[in-house]
Structure 1
Amino acid sequence: MFIVLLKFSDNKAKASEYMDSHNAWIKKGFDDDVFLLVGSIEPGAGGSVIAHNSTLEEIQSRVNDDPFVSEDVVKAEIIEISPKKADERLSFLLA
């Protein structure tokens, strides 16, 4: 499981230019059953993704395909987590 932090770079002003393609990238992550949750880092600092069903290399490749990353709108940090305990509603994450 991974937490991906997408923190705005000095090129934040270019975000609107790539928003449609960034949203398509997000949709593909959900369609591929990799993304579990996507949201903003408040206050207006960027975005975050919780992902699973992938290796670190696959996540790195997917993150590099995000137009926000490739166009230097955000800087990505990938944190790998090995879940050990979860609320029963999230038990599927322990598999």
Structure 2
Amino acid sequence: MFIVFLRFSANKAKAPDFIQGHKAWIQQGIKEGLFLIVGSLQPDQGGCIIANNIEKEALESRISEDPFVTENIVKAEVFEVTPSMTIENLQFLMAA
């Protein structure tokens, strides 16, 4: 499992020009079952994705296709997490 932080860069002002492509990129990751949770970093610092069922190299490659990344609107940081405990509803994460 991975936590991806997408922190705004100095090019944040360009975000409105690329938001539709960024949202489509997110929707594709959700549709494929790779992105479990997507949300905003507060206050207005960027975004966060919890990803699963993907290898780190494949995730990094996918992140490089995000329009916000290609246009240097955000800088991506990927952290790998090995879950050791969870609530019953999230037990599927333990097997990943």
Counterpart residue number, 2:30 = 30
C-alpha separation in 2, matches of 1:85 and 1:59? 23
Q: Which runs of 4+ in 1 moved over 4 A?
A: none
CA RMSD of aligned residues (A): 0.5
Counterpart residue number, 2:44 = 44
Counterpart residue number, 2:58 = 58
1:23-46: CA deviations, max 9, x gaps?
000000001110000000000000
* CA displacement at 1:89 relative to structure 2: 1.0
C-alpha separation in 2, matches of 1:72 and 1:39? 19
C-alpha separation in 2, matches of 1:69 and 1:22? 9
Secondary structure in structure 1 of the residue aligned to 2:91: helix
Counterpart residue number, 1:81 = 81
Unaligned residue ranges in structure 1 (runs of 5+): none
Unaligned residue ranges in structure 2 (runs of 5+): none
Query: What amino acid sits opposite 2:82 in the alignment?
Result: S
TM-score by structure 2 length? 0.97
Counterpart residue number, 2:4 = 4
TM-score by structure 1 length? 0.98
Secondary structure in structure 2 of the residue aligned to 1:38: strand
Percentage of identical aligned residues: 49
Query: What amino acid sits opposite 2:35 in the alignment?
Result: F
* CA displacement at 1:64 relative to structure 2: 0.5
C-alpha separation in 2, matches of 1:32 and 1:58? 13
